[in-house]
Homo-oligomer: A and B are copies of this chain.
């Protein structure tokens, strides 16, 4: 049996019209008429009652309709499963760059999981600042870039990738731990920040500006280049810092760092995916993006 005949039949029953069914199916009306006629001949009974202009299924037609729908649903599921299989053939090398924020924890773990899922794929992640990543993508030295700040650049396109929540990290047992503090309280506390140009720093500067403050209004004792350095300093009790929650998930679980928040500030940022304008995507890149959206979405 050809499931297209069943599809034609179902369309006729649903639309109560051969002509409308034909339109939906993308064929001409006589084609549908012949399909139904052929089906009726094969099954040995009338499936559709054509009384004047009315098109109604007969009793047999109603029974067939239910079964036909199940057949078509099963066929669709079958095709869908096979389409899903096709991805399993992924292989090749992916060159990706990230700024230090996303390049620190989230992305490496994601890429590791992706590689495990697709053993024939090889991934190379290089970490540098946002500007350099964007430039490398523009020059097509990297296929993908993951950065924490969108810049204007005509040779690349940015698209939202995932949302990164920024929290106030403090040493365990700290007075701030587990609660929301005021700006005045924050002002009296030693603060460690990332170096100039870091995305998280940008986010915090924007948030403070929104409440009429500047970063220099805080007791910024240390500026560190690497997120890992900042994390270690906080864990060691040298101060508090604003950091991506995702970067300290393990510490939060282990209790070696505590989390708090500041009244009136909700710092977060959209991590962006960068691609060269007009460049065709490889299947591996496509698969990675889909994988990431599934994992991070």
Contact = CB atoms under 8 A, between A and B. Distances in A.
Interface in A38-60: 43-45, 59-60
A82 B60 CA distance: 7
A3 interface: yes
A75 B71 contact: yes
Contact of A64 (B4, B64, B70, B78): B78
A122 B77 CA distance: 47
Contacts of A68: 78
Q: How many protomers of this protein does the assembly include? A: 2
A81 interface: yes
Interface in A65-86: 67-68, 70-71, 74-75, 77-79, 81-83, 85-86
Nearest to A73: B74
Contact of A67 (B60, B64, B74): B74
Nearest to A2: B2
A63 interface: yes
A267 B209 CA distance: 112
Contact of A85 (B45, B78, B79): B45
Contacts of A1: 2-4, 75, 79
A85 B44 CA distance: 10
A45 B78 contact: no
Given A67-B74, A70-B74, 8 more contacts: A1-B75, A1-B79, A2-B2, A44-B82, A45-B86, A60-B85, A71-B74, A71-B75
